[in-house]
Chain A
Amino acid sequence: MIRLNVNGKPQQFEGDVEMPLLWYLRDELYLTGTKYGCGMGLCGACTVHINGEAARSCLTPMKSAEAKNITTIEGLAVKGDHPLQKAWKACNVPQCGYCQTGQIMQAASMLKKTPKPTDAQIDTAMQGNICRCGTYQRIRQAIKLASGVKV
């Protein structure tokens, strides 16, 4: 049995320990804000925080989630008012919106380590997250707005 903590709630998992965390979150806990995009860590749509750090849930088998604190977009801020979520709205970032939860989780993790990121640091942190609608310009703008960096 795998014991883990998801958005502050203790959970137990009994099943294939090779199953990626992504499918546990989506199919068993119905936390569907975490998205499937590639299953290979190539697109970032499934990004969650594991013990506070951004990680690709599609590449994280349940066995390595043992005793970990998992945060999904649903747990980032209960009221949806994380500074990045507010900035995302102020900049009208989403188009289809599918990748945006992964983008926000990735950006939130970056800002913890790098509160005032440069353009190059934003590029490095965010290039693993694909947005097919092409909202990168507004994502960058929103990250800067949330971090108080001049746009």
Chain B
Amino acid sequence: MKVEIVSASRREFLSHIFSAAAFVVSAPIANSVARAQQAATAGDATRWDPSVYLGIEANGDVKIIAHRSEMGTGCRTCLPMIVADELEADWARVTIVQALGDVKYGSQNTDGSCSVRDFYDAMRSAGAAARTTLERAAAGQWGVPEGEVQGRNHFVVHTKTNRRISYAQLIPLLSSATAPAQNETRFKTPDQFRYIGKDMPMADLDDLVRGKGTFGIDAKMPGMVYATIERPPVMGAKLRTVDDSAVKQVNGVQQVVMLDVAQPPLAFKPLGGAVVIANSTWAALQGRRKLKADWDLGENASYDSVAYRKAMDETARKPGRVVREMGNVDTEFNKTGGKVIEAAYYTPALAHAPMEPPAAVAEFKDGKVVTWANTQNPQAVQDTVAKALGISKDAVTCHVTLLGGGFGRKSKPDYVAEAALISRQVGKPVKLVWSREDDIQFDYYHSPASLYMKAVLGEGGKPTAWLQRTVFPPIAMQNDPNEQYGGFQLGMGWTDIPYQIPNLRVENGPAKAHVRIGWLRSVANIYHAFGVQSFTDELAAAAGRDRVEYLLELIGQPRTIDFGKEGLKNATRVNPKFPFDTARLRNVIEHVAQKSNWANHKPGNGRALGIAAHRSFLSYVATVVEVEVTPAGEVRIPRIDVAVDPGLAINPELVRAQFEGAAVFGTSIALLSEVTAAGGRIQQRNFDGYQVARMNQAPRVTNVHIVRSDAPPAGVGEPGVPPIAPAICNAIFAATGKRIRALPIKRQLSTSSA
């Protein structure tokens, strides 16, 4: 298999993707852009014209447009695989072309584990419509019924007469062909799939091992200068004065310019500050060190993460907003005789810290902006840059480079707007690379969270009442700095707790943000799964029950949950395509128990197993972690088993890779990572302070077991993360009897002699 990636630097205009002679399926509706806009208004991300995703050149070569961003999840490979499969294209003759930002493709926001989930049908339609057209042309040529011919690996074949004709030979016959109607399009059946469901390497693999892939930090424009920005050290700080006299003495520094300092709501606005322009990255960074900026720090200078945690912990002990309620937990708690158990949990703020920091090259010229950026969301780049410069969205061209990790950071395009604004000021193309210190100190942080849980145990140790309360500064602060309640994050592993408990109350308490808050891989599922799955383990321990049996018992009978009928306030109707099906959750738990040899594993010598299960991004995941706690209190992870039901797995090899990676990401969260603040400033600056798992700290082996499923494809990039931290902590309890209720673990298990 060979796939060529046409990189942004070798391609000037989108119209050059296909030559004039190429066959592109014309749309049943003529104006595809109008249609796309219609659908965008209707909030339907996937109802797109299939013709925009592929074309066949006169020589038969197939070009498939990758409209989502490649940041390691493999969507630049998997979406084209789906198209190529339905098209019956020879993968060796496929060229993948990275799309510019353009509303005609539908949503390009590569975030929320939804690339395959939202575009599986669209990609199949695109390929199937083109193949059906080719089949019709061949049938017409041979004078045989359309139903007797089949597209097969770049040919159309008629098996009865043993005839075949190549796709290239059919192209001249297609000049006036239009796409078949949906009901005339011939889709393949799963047993006919050529690529879907098969292990295929990433299209970018060869480039990546040779250092040839173009990331945002590698993009260049002729005549570009290098910029670095001294940003407000505290959110909302205002710049009083800048002394740049020493800066200009630095060899290579050209000038210092100012960007307006943004005021809340910060949304995706560039933060602003003093900009050093130089002829190299190094000169710019050296110049910045000589810059003396005096800030009016403002009200957020009072932000101290220790005091902030204390306040959140206290809020979590008080009644909050009830967001879901069944029965009456208070009545049960007030009865005498039952065993009441309470626990409070805390997880800290986190930074994304992708290995490649935010970076963009941008040129403002003749009222228009052209940019190359490592963005997860090129249409948001167009919007944000247009807004920052006061130009129209159509005047912004966004080329998408490879992303050296994203994890949600790079769907917020503040940094691209910075580069465009600077370019307008200096009149030259500008390259802006955030330093690691910039990345960690000016992130959109994952919320810290305080959780409070209470339950009373009845017969068999099963809870008869369960109360859970979550407190965290919400992402909604981006648009309303005074918003203190949870919004969509409450639906992430909190209000959708799938336990069958007669009295259940789910609450949310307020917290005001003092730094920018944003979504990070798995978002609120991280702390919510930590609270629910840790507390489940605590109850099982109190009841003296086997963890797997107990977990299954709380989930209850296999059923489809209608949360509206189970007490959820403001519930929407059950999504018929992706209902919460507890049979699938039970299944992955039973599967992972078997694969990890749960029933026969006995704790000893500091080693034990822990389990956690969680549904997020519509996928069902159960994880068993084996930990080893050394006599000195260090945590090692010899083995993890993950069972996942992600619906149909398009490329199992890449699905396994995502869950292996998620195990490491979750291990970082459990053991090491923490963002703290004092005086409103972030205290971590680089990988010495903000620690992430290294090879010697990571799980040694992660076995990923993909459960066979006929369900539609669901999320893969994120769902592996949430169960890791609670499973690690549950295993630590089994091994040592010590319960971890606050992350990261760091040195919490250290013995005094160590």
Contacts and interface: CB of A to CB of B under 8 A. Distances in A.
B354 A89 contact: no
A12 B405 CA distance: 34
A20 B355 contact: no
Interface stretch (B23-31, B528-536, B660-668): B660-668
Nearest to A134: B664
Chain A CB count within 10 A is highest, among B209, B354, B435, for B209
For the complex of A and B, 8 pairs with smallest distance between CB atoms: A33-B211, A134-B664, A98-B404, A97-B208, A96-B72, A95-B72, A134-B661, A73-B211
B280 A23 contact: yes
Contacts of A98: 215, 354-356, 402, 404-405
Given A27-B281, A42-B686, A132 B206 contact: no
B282 A16 contact: yes
B212 interface: yes
B404 A96 contact: yes
A131 B687 CA distance: 12
Contacts of A39: 285, 435-436, 686
Contact of A35 (B281, B404, B658): B404
Contact of B657 (A37, A80, A135): A135
Nearest to B214: A32
Nearest to B220: A30
A-side interface size class = 35 or more
A59 to B, nearest CB: 13
Chain B CB count within 10 A is highest, among A88, A134, A135, for A134
Contacts of B436: 37-40, 43
A138 interface: yes
B573 to A, nearest CB: 36
Contacts of A74: 210-211
Interface stretch (B137-145, B583-591, B688-696): B688-696
A20 B220 CA distance: 20
Contact of A80 (B206, B251, B700, B701): B206
A134 B698 contact: yes
A64 interface: no
A92 B695 contact: no
Contacts of B74: 95
B70 to A, nearest CB: 8
Interface in B294-340: none
B688 A134 contact: no
A66 B656 CA distance: 45
B209 A80 contact: yes
Given A33-B212, A98-B215, A129-B695, A89 B355 contact: no
Chain A CB count within 10 A is highest, among B208, B404, B686, B695, for B695
Contact of A96 (B71, B211, B687, B694): B71
A136 B695 contact: yes
Given A37-B436, A94-B204, 19 more contacts: A16-B282, A19-B280, A35-B355, A35-B356, A42-B688, A72-B211, A80-B210, A95-B657, A96-B71, A96-B405, A97-B207, A122-B695, A127-B694, A130-B694, A134-B693, A135-B660, A137-B699, A137-B701, A137-B702
Interface of B: 70-74, 201-202, 204-215, 217-218, 220, 226, 251-252, 280-283, 285-286, 353-357, 402-407, 433, 435-436, 653-654, 657-658, 660-665, 686-688, 692-696, 698-702
Nearest to A125: B695
9 contacts: A15-B252, A33-B210, A35-B355, A96-B403, A97-B208, A98-B356, A134-B664, A134-B693, A136-B698
A91 to B, nearest CB: 10
A89 B664 contact: no
Given A38-B436, A134-B660, A135-B661, A101 B211 contact: yes
A132 B692 contact: yes
A93 B435 CA distance: 26
Contacts of B201: 89, 92
A104 B435 contact: no
Contacts of A124: 696
A97 to B, nearest CB: 3
Contacts of A126: 695
A40 B281 contact: no
Interface in A69-111: 72-74, 80, 85, 88-89, 92-101, 104
Chain B CB count within 10 A is highest, among A34, A74, A95, A126, for A95
A36 to B, nearest CB: 6
A35 B217 contact: yes
A16 B287 CA distance: 13
A20 B280 CA distance: 12
Chain A CB count within 10 A is highest, among B73, B212, B435, B701, for B212
B664 A38 contact: no
B74 to A, nearest CB: 8
A99 B698 contact: no
B73 A95 contact: yes
Contacts of B403: 96
Contacts of B402: 96-98
A20 B174 CA distance: 57
A99 to B, nearest CB: 5
A134 B71 contact: no
B356 to A, nearest CB: 5
Nearest to A79: B210
Contacts of B215: 32, 35, 98
Contacts of A132: 353-355, 405, 407, 665, 692
B228 to A, nearest CB: 12
Contacts of B212: 33
A133 interface: yes
Contacts of A27: 226, 280-282
Contacts of A45: 355
A140 interface: yes
Contact of B282 (A19, A80, A89, A122): A19
A55 interface: no
B687 A43 contact: yes
Nearest to B660: A137
A94 B208 contact: yes
A130 B692 contact: yes
A133 B302 CA distance: 35
Given A33-B212, A35-B217, A137-B702, A40 B688 contact: yes
Contacts of A37: 355-356, 436, 687
Contacts of A137: 660, 698-702
Contact of B281 (A26, A38, A94, A130): A26
Nearest to B656: A92
Nearest to B251: A16
B664 A99 contact: no
Contacts of B665: 132, 134
Contacts of B220: 30
B282 A38 contact: no
A59 B208 CA distance: 24
Interface in A1-35: 15-16, 19-20, 23, 26-28, 30-35
Chain A CB count within 10 A is highest, among B74, B207, B213, for B213
Contact of A97 (B72, B280, B654): B72
A12 to B, nearest CB: 16
Contacts of B653: 92
A106 to B, nearest CB: 10
Given A97-B204, A100-B209, A137-B660, A23 B282 contact: yes
